[in-house]
Amino acid sequence: MTDYLSPQEPATEKAPGIRTGGGHGTWHGYLIGYLSAAFLTTAAFILAINDWMTPASILAAVSVLAVAQMLVHLIFFLHINTAPEQRTNILAFAATLLIIFIVVVGSLWIMSHLHHNMMPMNILMKMQR
């Protein structure tokens, strides 16, 4: 009986989106990625135009679908995975996420404080006269 990962028979199963050779993924991987992305996009549009759920639930569902869509693009089209040779790409992606987080949170914080410290409109209109 041979071992499942014996040197004579290397494992042929790979995670989705992992390259099997060459510089790009296979057509099969791209097809799965495309169909997944199309399904997630269609599901988000269907949820948005119907009133099956409350607005808060629709927002949460569309947000989950958006995160899933990003993961599909990262895995199937950008070929980001946990392989050791992908370490630089993962670090660059993490740094990009950190910068985006800082910009978004900083913008929300600034807008919140501007709104809080803004003069009421009726007083502002009296000053204009």
76 and 24 in one domain? yes
What is the distance of C-alpha 85 from the center of its chain?
A: 22
In a domain, 28, yes or no: yes
Give the number of domains in the chain.
2
In a domain, 10, yes or no: no
Range scoring the smallest mean pLDDT among 5-9, 31-35, 96-100: 5-9
91 and 61 in one domain? no
Integer CA distances (angstroms), 6 to 1, 20, 83, 109, in order: 11, 19, 20, 56
pTM for this predicted structure: 0.61
* HSE value, Cβ hemisphere, 13 Å, CA-based, for 42: 6
94 and 67 in one domain? no
Domain end, chosen from 60, 81, 102, is at 81
31 and 72 in one domain? yes
**Using CB atoms within 10 A of its CB, is residue 71 exposed (0-12), middle (13-18) or buried (19+)?**
middle
Domain extent at residue 121: 84-129
* pLDDT tens profile 50-105: 988 999 999 999 999 999 999 999 889 988 888 888 888 889 989 999 999 999 99
